[in-house]
Structure 1
Amino acid sequence: MRHPLARALTGALALITVAAVAPLASPAPAAADSVVVGGYSVQVEDSPWVVALSSRDRFGGTRAGQFCGGVVVAPTKVMTAAHCLSRTVLGTDVTGVRDLAVVSGRTRLLGTGGREIPVSATWIAPEYSPGTNSSDLAVLTLAEALPASHAIGLAGVGDPAYAPGTSATVYGWGDMTGSGSYASSLRAASVTVLPDSACGQAYPGGLGGRYLESTMLCAGHPRGGRDACQGDSGGPLVARGRLIGLVSWGSGCGRADSPGVYTRISAVAAS
Protein backbone atom coordinates (compact mmCIF):
# COMPACT_ATOMS: atom_id res chain seq x y z
CA MET A 1 0.00 0.00 0.00
CA ARG A 2 1.30 3.41 -0.98
CA HIS A 3 1.74 6.15 1.60
CA PRO A 4 2.94 9.38 -0.06
CA LEU A 5 2.38 12.59 1.84
CA ALA A 6 -0.78 14.25 0.58
CA ARG A 7 -0.02 17.85 1.36
CA ALA A 8 -3.29 19.03 2.86
CA LEU A 9 -4.31 19.33 6.51
CA THR A 10 -6.15 16.05 7.00
CA GLY A 11 -8.27 14.16 9.48
CA ALA A 12 -10.69 14.84 12.28
CA LEU A 13 -7.90 16.05 14.58
CA ALA A 14 -7.63 19.14 12.39
CA LEU A 15 -10.98 20.19 13.79
CA ILE A 16 -9.40 20.36 17.22
CA THR A 17 -5.90 21.66 16.59
CA VAL A 18 -3.72 22.12 13.54
CA ALA A 19 -0.62 21.08 15.46
CA ALA A 20 -2.06 17.63 16.07
CA VAL A 21 -2.18 16.75 12.39
CA ALA A 22 0.58 14.32 11.39
CA PRO A 23 1.69 13.59 7.82
CA LEU A 24 0.89 10.20 6.30
CA ALA A 25 4.59 9.42 6.09
CA SER A 26 7.11 10.17 8.82
CA PRO A 27 9.45 12.78 7.35
CA ALA A 28 13.11 13.01 8.20
CA PRO A 29 14.19 16.32 9.75
CA ALA A 30 14.38 18.89 6.96
CA ALA A 31 17.25 21.33 6.61
CA ALA A 32 14.80 24.20 6.63
CA ASP A 33 15.35 27.80 7.54
CA SER A 34 11.70 28.75 7.22
CA VAL A 35 8.46 27.95 5.35
CA VAL A 36 7.46 26.74 2.82
CA VAL A 37 10.29 24.32 3.85
CA GLY A 38 13.51 26.20 3.08
CA GLY A 39 11.53 29.33 2.16
CA TYR A 40 11.25 33.04 2.73
CA SER A 41 8.57 35.63 3.43
CA VAL A 42 6.57 37.11 0.57
CA GLN A 43 3.76 39.63 0.38
CA VAL A 44 0.54 38.53 -1.29
CA GLU A 45 0.40 41.90 -3.08
CA ASP A 46 3.39 40.74 -5.14
CA SER A 47 1.69 37.45 -6.04
CA PRO A 48 -2.07 38.20 -5.86
CA TRP A 49 -2.97 34.92 -7.58
CA VAL A 50 -2.01 32.94 -4.44
CA VAL A 51 -5.04 32.21 -2.23
CA ALA A 52 -5.87 30.06 0.78
CA LEU A 53 -8.76 27.58 0.98
CA SER A 54 -10.66 27.97 4.22
CA SER A 55 -13.38 26.36 6.31
CA ARG A 56 -13.59 27.39 9.93
CA ASP A 57 -16.41 24.91 10.39
CA ARG A 58 -14.09 22.02 9.51
CA PHE A 59 -10.68 23.32 10.66
CA GLY A 60 -11.34 25.92 13.36
CA GLY A 61 -10.28 29.55 13.57
CA THR A 62 -6.64 29.20 14.63
CA ARG A 63 -5.43 29.73 11.05
CA ALA A 64 -8.62 31.29 9.66
CA GLY A 65 -9.70 27.79 8.68
CA GLN A 66 -6.86 27.39 6.13
CA PHE A 67 -6.28 23.80 4.99
CA CYS A 68 -5.00 24.04 1.40
CA GLY A 69 -3.72 26.54 -1.13
CA GLY A 70 -5.05 27.62 -4.50
CA VAL A 71 -4.30 29.85 -7.46
CA VAL A 72 -6.49 32.35 -9.29
CA VAL A 73 -6.65 31.60 -13.03
CA ALA A 74 -9.66 33.79 -13.92
CA PRO A 75 -11.74 36.37 -11.99
CA THR A 76 -14.14 33.71 -10.66
CA LYS A 77 -11.99 30.57 -11.02
CA VAL A 78 -9.44 29.08 -8.62
CA MET A 79 -7.41 25.94 -9.27
CA THR A 80 -6.45 23.65 -6.41
CA ALA A 81 -5.66 19.97 -5.85
CA ALA A 82 -8.56 17.53 -6.18
CA HIS A 83 -7.51 15.71 -3.04
CA CYS A 84 -8.11 18.94 -1.06
CA LEU A 85 -11.83 18.42 -1.63
CA SER A 86 -11.81 14.76 -0.63
CA ARG A 87 -13.68 13.26 2.30
CA THR A 88 -10.29 12.22 3.72
CA VAL A 89 -9.25 15.86 4.04
CA LEU A 90 -12.58 17.49 4.85
CA GLY A 91 -14.09 14.74 6.99
CA THR A 92 -17.28 14.98 4.94
CA ASP A 93 -18.40 15.33 1.35
CA VAL A 94 -17.44 18.72 -0.08
CA THR A 95 -21.13 19.54 -0.59
CA GLY A 96 -21.54 19.37 3.18
CA VAL A 97 -18.96 22.08 3.90
CA ARG A 98 -21.17 25.08 4.57
CA ASP A 99 -18.48 27.76 4.73
CA LEU A 100 -15.97 26.74 2.05
CA ALA A 101 -14.26 29.96 0.98
CA VAL A 102 -11.15 31.39 -0.64
CA VAL A 103 -9.04 33.93 1.26
CA SER A 104 -7.55 36.43 -1.18
CA GLY A 105 -5.26 39.40 -0.69
CA ARG A 106 -4.18 38.55 2.85
CA THR A 107 -0.53 37.77 3.63
CA ARG A 108 -1.24 36.86 7.27
CA LEU A 109 -4.11 34.42 7.63
CA LEU A 110 -5.44 36.24 10.70
CA GLY A 111 -4.49 39.69 9.45
CA THR A 112 -6.73 42.44 8.18
CA GLY A 113 -7.61 43.32 4.63
CA GLY A 114 -8.20 41.05 1.71
CA ARG A 115 -11.43 39.19 1.04
CA GLU A 116 -13.00 35.92 2.05
CA ILE A 117 -15.10 34.85 -0.91
CA PRO A 118 -17.56 31.96 -0.70
CA VAL A 119 -17.18 29.09 -3.15
CA SER A 120 -20.36 28.65 -5.17
CA ALA A 121 -19.42 25.50 -7.12
CA THR A 122 -16.68 22.88 -7.32
CA TRP A 123 -15.41 20.73 -10.20
CA ILE A 124 -13.01 17.80 -9.96
CA ALA A 125 -11.14 16.54 -13.01
CA PRO A 126 -12.95 13.39 -14.15
CA GLU A 127 -9.59 11.68 -14.74
CA TYR A 128 -8.49 12.25 -11.13
CA SER A 129 -7.36 9.03 -9.45
CA PRO A 130 -7.16 9.09 -5.63
CA GLY A 131 -5.08 5.90 -5.76
CA THR A 132 -2.30 7.40 -7.86
CA ASN A 133 -2.92 11.18 -7.51
CA SER A 134 -2.95 11.37 -11.30
CA SER A 135 -4.76 14.48 -12.65
CA ASP A 136 -4.93 15.94 -9.13
CA LEU A 137 -6.93 19.04 -10.14
CA ALA A 138 -10.07 20.77 -8.95
CA VAL A 139 -11.58 24.12 -9.97
CA LEU A 140 -13.55 26.32 -7.60
CA THR A 141 -16.08 28.87 -8.83
CA LEU A 142 -16.22 32.00 -6.67
CA ALA A 143 -19.43 33.73 -5.69
CA GLU A 144 -17.77 37.12 -6.33
CA ALA A 145 -15.24 38.07 -8.98
CA LEU A 146 -11.67 39.07 -8.24
CA PRO A 147 -9.87 41.64 -10.40
CA ALA A 148 -8.62 40.21 -13.69
CA SER A 149 -5.12 41.37 -12.70
CA HIS A 150 -5.13 38.76 -9.91
CA ALA A 151 -5.12 35.85 -12.36
CA ILE A 152 -1.93 34.14 -13.53
CA GLY A 153 -1.39 32.67 -16.99
CA LEU A 154 -1.05 28.94 -17.57
CA ALA A 155 1.98 27.30 -19.18
CA GLY A 156 0.81 25.15 -22.09
CA VAL A 157 2.28 22.09 -23.75
CA GLY A 158 5.86 22.70 -24.88
CA ASP A 159 6.33 25.81 -22.77
CA PRO A 160 10.04 26.20 -21.87
CA ALA A 161 8.99 26.78 -18.25
CA TYR A 162 8.72 22.98 -17.93
CA ALA A 163 12.30 22.36 -19.04
CA PRO A 164 14.52 20.51 -16.52
CA GLY A 165 16.79 22.93 -14.71
CA THR A 166 14.27 25.78 -14.81
CA SER A 167 14.06 27.79 -11.59
CA ALA A 168 10.57 27.78 -10.09
CA THR A 169 8.84 29.06 -6.96
CA VAL A 170 6.28 27.30 -4.77
CA TYR A 171 3.98 29.25 -2.42
CA GLY A 172 1.97 28.37 0.66
CA TRP A 173 1.05 28.70 4.31
CA GLY A 174 2.07 25.12 5.17
CA ASP A 175 4.42 23.30 7.51
CA MET A 176 7.68 25.11 8.29
CA THR A 177 9.88 22.10 9.01
CA GLY A 178 8.05 18.89 8.14
CA SER A 179 7.22 18.32 11.80
CA GLY A 180 3.93 20.17 12.27
CA SER A 181 4.96 23.82 12.66
CA TYR A 182 2.59 25.77 10.44
CA ALA A 183 2.98 29.24 8.98
CA SER A 184 0.66 32.14 9.67
CA SER A 185 2.10 34.27 6.87
CA LEU A 186 2.61 33.48 3.18
CA ARG A 187 5.97 31.95 2.30
CA ALA A 188 7.71 30.87 -0.88
CA ALA A 189 10.59 28.56 -1.72
CA SER A 190 12.88 28.41 -4.73
CA VAL A 191 13.12 24.97 -6.35
CA THR A 192 14.33 23.52 -9.64
CA VAL A 193 12.27 21.58 -12.19
CA LEU A 194 13.76 18.09 -12.40
CA PRO A 195 13.94 15.65 -15.34
CA ASP A 196 11.19 13.05 -15.54
CA SER A 197 13.87 10.37 -15.28
CA ALA A 198 14.98 11.68 -11.87
CA CYS A 199 11.38 11.89 -10.69
CA GLY A 200 10.75 8.32 -11.80
CA GLN A 201 13.83 7.12 -9.94
CA ALA A 202 12.66 8.89 -6.79
CA TYR A 203 9.15 7.41 -7.02
CA PRO A 204 9.26 4.05 -8.86
CA GLY A 205 6.18 2.68 -7.12
CA GLY A 206 5.51 0.75 -3.93
CA LEU A 207 5.28 2.51 -0.59
CA GLY A 208 6.82 5.72 -1.90
CA GLY A 209 4.27 6.16 -4.70
CA ARG A 210 4.69 6.15 -8.47
CA TYR A 211 5.59 9.16 -10.57
CA LEU A 212 3.49 9.45 -13.74
CA GLU A 213 5.12 11.86 -16.17
CA SER A 214 1.93 12.17 -18.24
CA THR A 215 0.17 14.19 -15.51
CA MET A 216 2.91 15.09 -13.02
CA LEU A 217 6.18 16.99 -12.72
CA CYS A 218 8.56 17.19 -9.81
CA ALA A 219 10.81 19.87 -8.42
CA GLY A 220 13.24 20.22 -5.56
CA HIS A 221 16.84 20.96 -4.67
CA PRO A 222 19.86 18.63 -5.01
CA ARG A 223 20.66 18.92 -1.30
CA GLY A 224 17.02 18.91 -0.19
CA GLY A 225 15.71 21.43 2.32
CA ARG A 226 13.43 23.28 -0.13
CA ASP A 227 9.96 21.92 -0.70
CA ALA A 228 6.24 22.24 -0.24
CA CYS A 229 4.88 20.43 2.79
CA GLN A 230 1.74 19.55 4.73
CA GLY A 231 -0.90 22.26 4.30
CA ASP A 232 0.49 23.50 0.96
CA SER A 233 -1.60 21.20 -1.28
CA GLY A 234 -3.18 22.95 -4.24
CA GLY A 235 -0.79 25.88 -4.05
CA PRO A 236 1.02 27.16 -7.15
CA LEU A 237 4.37 26.24 -8.67
CA VAL A 238 5.37 29.16 -10.89
CA ALA A 239 8.16 29.42 -13.46
CA ARG A 240 8.89 32.24 -15.91
CA GLY A 241 5.79 34.06 -14.69
CA ARG A 242 3.41 31.21 -15.56
CA LEU A 243 1.67 28.48 -13.60
CA ILE A 244 3.27 25.09 -14.28
CA GLY A 245 2.08 23.00 -11.32
CA LEU A 246 -0.08 22.53 -8.25
CA VAL A 247 1.30 21.06 -5.03
CA SER A 248 0.12 17.44 -4.98
CA TRP A 249 2.17 14.91 -3.01
CA GLY A 250 5.58 13.70 -1.92
CA SER A 251 7.39 11.55 0.62
CA GLY A 252 8.36 13.67 3.58
CA CYS A 253 9.31 17.33 3.20
CA GLY A 254 12.61 18.68 1.94
CA ARG A 255 14.36 15.35 1.41
CA ALA A 256 17.15 15.37 -1.16
CA ASP A 257 16.02 12.01 -2.57
CA SER A 258 12.27 12.73 -2.48
CA PRO A 259 11.38 15.87 -4.46
CA GLY A 260 7.93 17.40 -4.36
CA VAL A 261 5.46 16.13 -6.95
CA TYR A 262 3.09 18.56 -8.67
CA THR A 263 0.10 18.31 -10.97
CA ARG A 264 1.35 19.16 -14.48
CA ILE A 265 -0.84 22.07 -15.63
CA SER A 266 -0.29 21.51 -19.34
CA ALA A 267 -1.67 17.97 -19.00
CA VAL A 268 -4.83 18.72 -17.02
CA ALA A 269 -5.89 22.32 -17.67
CA ALA A 270 -7.77 21.39 -20.83
CA SER A 271 -9.71 18.58 -19.14
Structure 2
Amino acid sequence: MGKARRRGRGALAGAVLAGAALVLQGAPPAAAVVGGDRADIGKYPWTVALTSQDVKEPECAGTLVAPRKVLTASHCVSPATVDRVRVVGGREDLRGTRKGTVRKVSKLWIHPRADTEGNGATYAHDLAVLTLDAPMPYRTLPLATPAQQKLYEEGAPNRVLGWGSTTGREDDTTVPPLQTALIPNRGDEQCVTAYGTRRYRKSFTMCVGYPAGGVSACSGDSGGPVVVKGRLVGVISGGGSCTSRRYPGVAVKTASYYALLQSRIAG
Protein backbone atom coordinates (compact mmCIF):
# COMPACT_ATOMS: atom_id res chain seq x y z
CA MET A 1 0.00 0.00 0.00
CA GLY A 2 1.34 3.44 -0.82
CA LYS A 3 2.35 5.90 1.85
CA ALA A 4 -0.68 7.51 3.45
CA ARG A 5 -0.69 10.87 5.12
CA ARG A 6 -0.57 9.16 8.45
CA ARG A 7 1.64 6.16 8.64
CA GLY A 8 -0.07 2.83 9.09
CA ARG A 9 -3.80 2.88 8.42
CA GLY A 10 -4.39 5.43 5.69
CA ALA A 11 -5.50 8.63 7.41
CA LEU A 12 -7.87 11.48 7.16
CA ALA A 13 -5.31 13.71 8.72
CA GLY A 14 -1.75 13.69 7.58
CA ALA A 15 1.51 14.56 9.22
CA VAL A 16 2.64 16.06 5.94
CA LEU A 17 -0.28 18.47 5.86
CA ALA A 18 -0.32 19.47 9.51
CA GLY A 19 -3.83 20.36 10.49
CA ALA A 20 -7.12 18.41 11.68
CA ALA A 21 -10.17 16.37 12.14
CA LEU A 22 -13.36 15.90 10.22
CA VAL A 23 -15.33 17.71 12.85
CA LEU A 24 -23.65 19.72 11.92
CA GLN A 25 -23.60 22.90 13.85
CA GLY A 26 -23.76 22.87 17.66
CA ALA A 27 -22.47 20.13 19.94
CA PRO A 28 -21.41 16.78 18.48
CA PRO A 29 -23.31 13.59 19.26
CA ALA A 30 -22.05 11.50 22.14
CA ALA A 31 -21.61 8.23 20.25
CA ALA A 32 -18.21 6.54 18.63
CA VAL A 33 -15.08 7.23 12.34
CA VAL A 34 -14.26 9.14 16.00
CA GLY A 35 -17.61 10.10 17.54
CA GLY A 36 -19.63 8.12 15.01
CA ASP A 37 -21.86 5.06 15.03
CA ARG A 38 -21.66 1.59 13.54
CA ALA A 39 -22.90 1.62 9.96
CA ASP A 40 -24.99 -0.97 8.17
CA ILE A 41 -23.15 -1.82 4.94
CA GLY A 42 -26.54 -2.62 3.39
CA LYS A 43 -27.43 1.08 3.63
CA TYR A 44 -24.09 2.21 2.20
CA PRO A 45 -23.18 -0.59 -0.25
CA TRP A 46 -20.92 1.68 -2.30
CA THR A 47 -18.46 2.05 0.59
CA VAL A 48 -15.38 -0.13 0.09
CA ALA A 49 -12.18 -0.77 1.99
CA LEU A 50 -8.66 -0.69 0.56
CA THR A 51 -6.71 -3.35 2.40
CA SER A 52 -3.49 -5.32 2.43
CA GLN A 53 -3.22 -8.62 0.59
CA ASP A 54 -4.39 -10.64 3.58
CA VAL A 55 -7.58 -8.53 3.68
CA LYS A 56 -7.21 -7.91 7.41
CA GLU A 57 -5.65 -4.45 7.68
CA PRO A 58 -7.65 -1.58 6.15
CA GLU A 59 -5.36 1.18 4.91
CA CYS A 60 -7.95 3.49 3.37
CA ALA A 61 -11.53 3.59 2.16
CA GLY A 62 -13.10 4.36 -1.20
CA THR A 63 -16.37 4.72 -3.07
CA LEU A 64 -17.74 2.43 -5.75
CA VAL A 65 -18.68 4.87 -8.53
CA ALA A 66 -19.15 2.23 -11.26
CA PRO A 67 -19.16 -1.58 -11.04
CA ARG A 68 -15.41 -1.71 -11.79
CA LYS A 69 -14.35 1.77 -10.61
CA VAL A 70 -13.43 3.02 -7.14
CA LEU A 71 -12.71 6.66 -6.31
CA THR A 72 -10.26 7.20 -3.45
CA ALA A 73 -7.46 9.55 -2.36
CA SER A 74 -4.22 9.60 -4.35
CA HIS A 75 -2.10 9.40 -1.20
CA CYS A 76 -3.62 5.97 -0.46
CA VAL A 77 -2.07 4.24 -3.46
CA SER A 78 1.01 4.27 -5.65
CA PRO A 79 1.95 2.62 -8.96
CA ALA A 80 4.71 0.66 -7.22
CA THR A 81 2.43 -1.05 -4.71
CA VAL A 82 -1.05 -1.07 -6.25
CA ASP A 83 -0.70 -4.74 -7.22
CA ARG A 84 -0.79 -5.56 -3.50
CA VAL A 85 -4.00 -3.61 -2.82
CA ARG A 86 -7.22 -5.52 -2.29
CA VAL A 87 -10.60 -3.77 -2.54
CA VAL A 88 -13.28 -5.21 -0.25
CA GLY A 89 -16.99 -4.54 -0.77
CA GLY A 90 -20.07 -5.69 1.10
CA ARG A 91 -18.14 -6.45 4.29
CA GLU A 92 -19.11 -4.43 7.35
CA ASP A 93 -16.71 -6.12 9.76
CA LEU A 94 -13.35 -6.73 8.10
CA ARG A 95 -12.05 -9.01 10.84
CA GLY A 96 -15.18 -10.77 11.98
CA THR A 97 -16.56 -12.14 8.73
CA ARG A 98 -15.62 -13.24 5.25
CA LYS A 99 -18.82 -12.01 3.62
CA GLY A 100 -18.66 -9.68 0.68
CA THR A 101 -16.46 -9.43 -2.39
CA VAL A 102 -12.71 -8.96 -2.80
CA ARG A 103 -11.17 -7.58 -5.98
CA LYS A 104 -7.67 -6.81 -7.23
CA VAL A 105 -6.76 -3.57 -8.97
CA SER A 106 -5.99 -3.91 -12.68
CA LYS A 107 -5.36 -0.23 -13.44
CA LEU A 108 -4.59 2.93 -11.48
CA TRP A 109 -5.13 6.58 -12.40
CA ILE A 110 -3.78 9.31 -10.13
CA HIS A 111 -4.61 12.96 -10.73
CA PRO A 112 -1.57 14.35 -12.56
CA ARG A 113 -1.40 17.38 -10.24
CA ALA A 114 -1.70 15.43 -7.00
CA ASP A 115 1.02 16.61 -4.61
CA THR A 116 0.62 15.24 -1.09
CA GLU A 117 4.24 15.02 0.04
CA GLY A 118 6.90 17.52 1.06
CA ASN A 119 6.83 21.28 1.42
CA GLY A 120 4.53 21.80 -1.54
CA ALA A 121 1.88 19.44 -0.24
CA THR A 122 -1.72 20.44 -0.85
CA TYR A 123 -5.12 18.85 -0.35
CA ALA A 124 -6.21 19.81 -3.86
CA HIS A 125 -6.19 17.07 -6.52
CA ASP A 126 -5.80 14.27 -3.94
CA LEU A 127 -7.76 11.85 -6.12
CA ALA A 128 -7.26 8.42 -7.66
CA VAL A 129 -9.47 6.07 -9.65
CA LEU A 130 -8.95 2.32 -9.35
CA THR A 131 -10.11 -0.05 -12.08
CA LEU A 132 -10.98 -3.44 -10.61
CA ASP A 133 -10.19 -6.77 -12.20
CA ALA A 134 -13.91 -7.68 -12.14
CA PRO A 135 -17.16 -5.85 -11.35
CA MET A 136 -18.49 -5.45 -7.83
CA PRO A 137 -22.13 -6.58 -7.36
CA TYR A 138 -23.15 -3.53 -5.34
CA ARG A 139 -25.01 -0.29 -5.92
CA THR A 140 -22.81 2.60 -7.02
CA LEU A 141 -22.90 6.24 -5.88
CA PRO A 142 -23.21 9.16 -8.34
CA LEU A 143 -20.91 12.17 -8.15
CA ALA A 144 -22.12 15.65 -7.29
CA THR A 145 -22.25 17.80 -10.42
CA PRO A 146 -21.06 21.41 -10.86
CA ALA A 147 -24.74 22.47 -10.96
CA GLN A 148 -25.33 21.11 -7.43
CA GLN A 149 -23.45 23.75 -5.47
CA LYS A 150 -26.17 23.80 -2.78
CA LEU A 151 -24.78 20.48 -1.60
CA TYR A 152 -21.69 22.42 -0.48
CA GLU A 153 -23.47 25.09 1.53
CA GLU A 154 -22.09 25.91 4.96
CA GLY A 155 -23.93 23.90 7.60
CA ALA A 156 -24.96 21.11 5.22
CA PRO A 157 -24.72 17.72 6.97
CA ASN A 158 -22.07 15.52 5.38
CA ARG A 159 -22.10 11.77 5.95
CA VAL A 160 -18.64 10.25 6.24
CA LEU A 161 -17.83 6.54 6.44
CA GLY A 162 -14.80 4.39 7.08
CA TRP A 163 -13.06 1.68 9.06
CA GLY A 164 -10.60 4.07 10.70
CA SER A 165 -9.68 4.66 14.33
CA THR A 166 -12.52 5.42 16.77
CA THR A 167 -10.15 6.60 19.52
CA GLY A 168 -8.36 9.46 17.79
CA ARG A 169 -4.96 7.92 18.54
CA GLU A 170 -2.58 7.63 15.63
CA ASP A 171 -1.10 4.41 17.07
CA ASP A 172 -4.49 2.70 17.41
CA THR A 173 -4.35 -0.65 15.59
CA THR A 174 -7.90 -1.77 16.41
CA VAL A 175 -10.06 -2.33 13.33
CA PRO A 176 -13.68 -1.44 14.12
CA PRO A 177 -16.68 -2.36 12.01
CA LEU A 178 -17.68 0.24 9.46
CA GLN A 179 -18.42 3.57 11.17
CA THR A 180 -20.40 6.61 10.04
CA ALA A 181 -21.08 10.13 11.27
CA LEU A 182 -22.89 13.25 10.13
CA ILE A 183 -20.50 16.21 10.18
CA PRO A 184 -21.33 19.77 9.05
CA ASN A 185 -19.77 21.71 6.23
CA ARG A 186 -17.78 24.28 8.20
CA GLY A 187 -17.38 26.84 5.44
CA ASP A 188 -13.98 27.76 4.08
CA GLU A 189 -12.64 30.34 6.49
CA GLN A 190 -11.72 28.01 9.38
CA CYS A 191 -9.70 25.80 7.05
CA VAL A 192 -8.02 28.79 5.41
CA THR A 193 -7.01 29.96 8.89
CA ALA A 194 -5.82 26.49 9.88
CA TYR A 195 -3.94 25.50 6.73
CA GLY A 196 -3.37 28.60 4.64
CA THR A 197 -4.43 29.27 1.05
CA ARG A 198 -1.66 27.13 -0.45
CA ARG A 199 -2.67 23.91 1.26
CA TYR A 200 -6.41 24.60 1.36
CA ARG A 201 -7.77 25.81 -1.98
CA LYS A 202 -11.42 26.87 -1.92
CA SER A 203 -12.10 25.87 -5.51
CA PHE A 204 -11.04 22.29 -4.96
CA THR A 205 -11.49 21.48 -1.27
CA MET A 206 -14.17 21.55 1.42
CA CYS A 207 -13.93 22.07 5.17
CA VAL A 208 -15.90 19.78 7.49
CA GLY A 209 -16.13 19.75 11.27
CA TYR A 210 -18.07 20.61 14.41
CA PRO A 211 -17.15 23.91 16.06
CA ALA A 212 -16.56 21.91 19.26
CA GLY A 213 -14.50 19.20 17.55
CA GLY A 214 -14.65 15.62 18.77
CA VAL A 215 -16.32 13.98 15.76
CA SER A 216 -14.02 13.10 12.91
CA ALA A 217 -12.76 10.80 10.24
CA CYS A 218 -9.41 9.49 11.41
CA SER A 219 -6.54 7.12 10.61
CA GLY A 220 -7.79 4.56 8.11
CA ASP A 221 -10.59 6.72 6.73
CA SER A 222 -8.67 8.50 3.97
CA GLY A 223 -10.21 8.16 0.53
CA GLY A 224 -13.62 7.44 2.00
CA PRO A 225 -16.90 9.00 0.89
CA VAL A 226 -18.41 12.32 1.94
CA VAL A 227 -22.09 12.15 1.01
CA VAL A 228 -24.94 14.70 0.88
CA LYS A 229 -28.44 13.82 -0.37
CA GLY A 230 -27.34 10.69 -2.17
CA ARG A 231 -24.44 12.29 -3.99
CA LEU A 232 -20.71 11.86 -3.51
CA VAL A 233 -19.65 15.43 -2.73
CA GLY A 234 -16.14 14.71 -1.47
CA VAL A 235 -13.25 12.35 -0.88
CA ILE A 236 -11.70 12.39 2.59
CA SER A 237 -8.20 13.82 2.25
CA GLY A 238 -6.56 15.31 5.32
CA GLY A 239 -6.34 17.37 8.48
CA GLY A 240 -4.14 17.57 11.57
CA SER A 241 -5.72 15.55 14.38
CA CYS A 242 -8.88 13.54 14.82
CA THR A 243 -10.44 15.57 17.63
CA SER A 244 -9.23 19.19 17.48
CA ARG A 245 -11.82 21.92 17.00
CA ARG A 246 -9.16 24.25 15.59
CA TYR A 247 -8.30 22.06 12.63
CA PRO A 248 -11.36 20.82 10.73
CA GLY A 249 -11.11 17.97 8.29
CA VAL A 250 -10.56 18.50 4.60
CA ALA A 251 -12.12 16.66 1.67
CA VAL A 252 -11.64 17.08 -2.07
CA LYS A 253 -14.74 18.39 -3.88
CA THR A 254 -15.84 15.89 -6.50
CA ALA A 255 -17.98 18.48 -8.35
CA SER A 256 -14.83 20.48 -9.11
CA TYR A 257 -13.48 17.52 -11.07
CA TYR A 258 -16.74 16.19 -12.45
CA ALA A 259 -15.91 16.07 -16.16
CA LEU A 260 -12.43 14.66 -15.57
CA LEU A 261 -13.64 12.00 -13.15
CA GLN A 262 -16.56 11.00 -15.37
CA SER A 263 -14.17 10.45 -18.25
CA ARG A 264 -12.03 8.18 -16.06
CA ILE A 265 -15.03 6.34 -14.66
CA ALA A 266 -16.44 5.71 -18.14
CA GLY A 267 -13.07 4.77 -19.62
- Would the TM-score normalized by the shorter structure come out above 0.5? yes
Flag the 1:249–1:23 CA change in 2: closer, same or farther, 3 A. closer
Separation (CA, whole Å) in 2 of partners of 1:127 and 1:151:
26
1:49 has 2:41 as partner: no
Moved over 4 A (4+): 6-9, 25-28, 30-35
Q: Distance in 1 between matches of 2:165 and 2:50?
A: 15
Counterpart of 2:185 (choices 193, 197, 202) is 193
Q: Is the 8 A contact 2:61 2:72 kept in 1?
A: yes
**Aligned 8 A contact 2:161 2:221 in 1:** yes
1:1-271 equivalence runs, <5 A: 10=7, 14=8, 24=15, 35-56=32-53, 61=54, 64-86=56-78, 94-110=79-95, 111-130=97-116, 131-147=121-137, 150-159=139-148, 160-179=150-169, 180-181=171-172, 182-204=174-196, 210-271=199-260
Q: CA RMSD of the aligned region, Å?
A: 2.6
Per-residue CA distance 1:190-229 (angstroms, 9 max, x = gap): 1001212232123226xxx731111100111111111111
Q: Structure 2 length as normaliser, TM-score? A: 0.81
Per-residue CA deviation, residues 113-168 of structure 1 (Å, 9 max, x unaligned), is: 10111111100011212221321000000111123x52001111141211111111
Q: For residue 201 of structure 1, what is the amino acid of its counterpart?
A: T
More helix by share: 1
Alpha-carbon distance in 1 for matches of 2:151, 2:20: 29
Q: Which runs of 5+ in 2 are unaligned?
A: 261-267
Fraction of identical pairs, as percent: 38
In structure 1, the gaps of 5 or more residues are 1-5, 87-93
Task: Say which SS state the counterpart of residue 221 (structure 2) adopts.
Answer: coil
TM-score, scaled to structure 1 = 0.80
In the TM superposition, residue 97 of structure 1 has moved relative to its aligned partner by: 4.4
| Larger RCO: 1 or 2 (CA < 8 Å, sep 6+) | 2
Instruction: State the Cα distance separating 1:189 from its structure 2 match.
Output: 1.2
Which amino acid in 2 is paired with 1:213? K
Letter in 2 for 1:102: V
Matched position secondary structure for 2:213: coil
